[in-house]
Amino acid sequence: MPAPIEAKVFADKNTVAVARALLGKLLVRARPDGAVERHRIVEVEAYHGERDRACHASRGRTPRTEVMFGPAGVWYVYLCYGVHELLNLVTGPEGHPAAVLIRGLETVSGPGRLTRHLGIDRSFNARPATPATGLWLEEDDVRVRPRDVVATPRIGVDYAGPTWAAKKWRFVISTTSSTVIASRPASRRRTRT
C-alpha cells in the first residue's frame, strides 16, 4: 500500500510546481462505512499568493481565507456560487497564502462534481491531508511525463484582469497520453479497512 504524501512536500516548493507534481497522484477518500477509494488526479489549477489577482487571498486575510495563510498540507474547501464545494490543497510556507484547486480525476471531471462524488464538504476545511481525517494524497507507480501535460489559463478567472487571467497555471494530463491509460485505473481500487 502506498504511503501518504507528507505535508512538508507541499511547503518546500512553489505552488505552480506543486500543482504540476500533483498530476498522476492519488486522491484517497475513506468513507464513513469503511470503504477506501483511490482516484488519480488529472486536472489542477495553481493559486499563488496575495499578488495573484485570481487567488482568494488577493483580497487579504479573511475568515474564509485564513486557512490559506496556515501550514501546507491542509485542505481548503469553500462554497462556489452558493452551489459547489471546491477542494484545494494549501501549499507553500506558512504565512504565504497559496493553494492548488483539484479540478478533475480520471473518473470525474469538474471540481464541483468531484466533491459531490466523493462526499467532500466544508467540514473538511482546515483539516490536514492525512488518513486520520479521511482524505489524503498518495504516490503511485505512475509517472507523468512533461510532454503529457497541457498547460492552459485557469478557468473562470477573467475578473483577475488580463495578466493574471492569462497565466497558464491550469495543468491537465493530455487525453492522448498513454501515461494514465497504461497504468491500472486507480479508481477501481476500492478496499475496506
Question: What number is the average pLDDT over the span 156-176?
Answer: 92
Question: What number is the average pLDDT over the span 172-189?
Answer: 55
H helices of 2-144, in order, are 8-11, 15-22, 111-118
Picking from 55, 63, 89, the residue whose alpha carbon sits closest to that of residue 75 is: 89
Q: Tens of pLDDT along 137-154?
A: 999 888 899 999 999 999
**Domain ranges across the chain:** 8-184
Picking from 1, 46, 9, 67, the residue whose alpha carbon sits closest to that of residue 28 is: 1
Helix (H, G, I), strand (E, B) or coil at 179: helix
Stretch among 38-42, 57-61, 78-82, 108-112 having the lowest mean pLDDT: 78-82
Q: Tens of pLDDT along 72-118?
A: 999 999 988 667 899 999 998 999 999 999 999 999 999 999 999 99
User: Which set of grid coordinates corresponds to residue 133?
Assistant: 481525517
Q: What is the pLDDT of residue 81?
A: 67
Q: Would residue 126 be called left, alpha or beta, if left means φ above 0 and alpha means ψ between -120 and 50 degrees?
A: left
Question: What number is the average pLDDT over the span 21-37?
Answer: 94
At the second CATH level, the architecture of 8-184 is: Roll (3.10)
pLDDT at 182 over 80: no
